[in-house]
């Protein structure tokens, strides 16, 4: 039996913007199926640039991306499948919600794949149930709270049954209750997770593994408690834990 392909393989990805600025310097990253990984780093580290490569929005200057064994390319049919497999939930849910009702927003992606009738309805029901928003299916998205809109945004991606769920700052602008509710939902999802965040306690809560990206390079990769327990490592890369938050009583230093 062939071994299962990782959900994500980033192989030597280098990217330079048209003005010559090099945002990624040969990034290598593998995320196994079912793994939950936090992508950490200061502003300007290259996190967003990397994420935009995962579903072909940006094309590497060098290197390549493989999602579930399928290489990202500019071929239209392949790119459509890659974008189904890589579900990105943006920081602002209003970037993803634009139809009159919650159910219509969640149905939009699967409908574009050709699903109709009972199959489409079942996909919508499944996604809304996964994020605890079934009772709001007929509401207008902009009448929901910010936390509810974020959960619907997650549902729009889950309805595509992605290989990997990529979350951009999922806890930002949430009140404590909404933050806790979203964490409970994300913890129960049976999907590979890549979470871009500055919220280090959220990374600790949801991701067993963390990767630090700085200056377009991966500078550390290891168990989340170990990375967050290394104060010198965090300080070098402009990352800070909240006051009195300690992920482990006796952290193991992480070598870069």
Mapping DSSP to helix (H, G, I), strand (E, B) and coil, where does residue 64 land?
Answer: strand
- The tens-digit pLDDT sequence of the chain (256 residues) is 345 899 999 999 999 999 999 999 999 999 999 999 999 999 999 999 999 999 999 999 999 999 999 999 888 889 999 999 999 999 999 999 999 999 999 999 999 999 999 999 999 999 999 999 999 999 999 999 999 999 999 999 999 999 999 999 999 999 999 999 999 999 999 999 999 999 999 999 999 999 999 999 999 999 999 999 999 999 999 999 988 787 864 444 444 4
Angle at which helix 117-130 crosses helix 146-158, to 10 degrees, equals 130
User: Helical H runs in the chain?
Assistant: 47-54, 76-85, 102-112, 117-130, 146-158, 176-188, 200-206, 224-228, 231-236
Mapping DSSP to helix (H, G, I), strand (E, B) and coil, where does residue 62 land?
Answer: strand
Q: pTM above the 0.85 mark? A: yes
> Where do the domains of the chain lie?
8-236
For 86-97, b/e burial (b = at least 16 CB within 10 A) is: bbbbbeebeebb
10, two tokens: 């980033």
Looking at domain 8-236, does it have CATH number 3.40.50.300?
Answer: yes
Give the phi and the psi of residue 210 in degrees, each rounded to 5: -130, 150
Alpha-carbon gap, residue 170 to 151, rounded angstroms: 10
């Amino acid at each position: 039996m062939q071994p299962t392909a990782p959900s994500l393989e980033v192989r030597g990805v280098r990217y330079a913007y048209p003005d010559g600025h090099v945002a990624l310097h040969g990034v290598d990253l593998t995320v196994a199926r079912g793994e939950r990984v936090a992508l950490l780093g200061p502003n300007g580290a290259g996190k967003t640039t990397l994420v935009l490569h995962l579903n072909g929005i940006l094309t590497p200057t060098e290197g390549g991306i493989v999602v579930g064994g399928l290489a990202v390319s500019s071929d239209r049919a392949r790119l459509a499948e890659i974008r189904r497999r890589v579900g990105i939930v943006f920081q602002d849910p209003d970037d993803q919600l634009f139809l009159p009702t919650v159910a219509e927003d969640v149905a939009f992606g699967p409908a574009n794949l050709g699903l109709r009738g009972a199959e489409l309805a079942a996909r919508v029901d499944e996604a809304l149930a996964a994020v605890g928003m079934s009772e709001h299916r007929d509401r207008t998205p902009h009448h929901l709270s910010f936390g509810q809109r974020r959960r619907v945004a997650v549902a729009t991606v889950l309805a595509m049954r992605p290989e990997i769920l990529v979350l951009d700052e999922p806890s930002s602008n949430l009140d404590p209750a909404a933050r806790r509710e979203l964490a409970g939902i994300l913890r129960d999802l049976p999907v590979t997770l890549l979470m871009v965040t500055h919220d280090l306690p959220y990374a600790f809560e949801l991701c067993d593994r963390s990767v630090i990206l700085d200056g377009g390079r991966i500078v550390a990769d290891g168990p989340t408690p170990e990375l967050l327990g290394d104060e010198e490592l965090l300080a070098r890369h402009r990352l800070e834990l909240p006051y009195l938050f300690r992920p482990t009583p006796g952290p193991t230093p992480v070598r870069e």
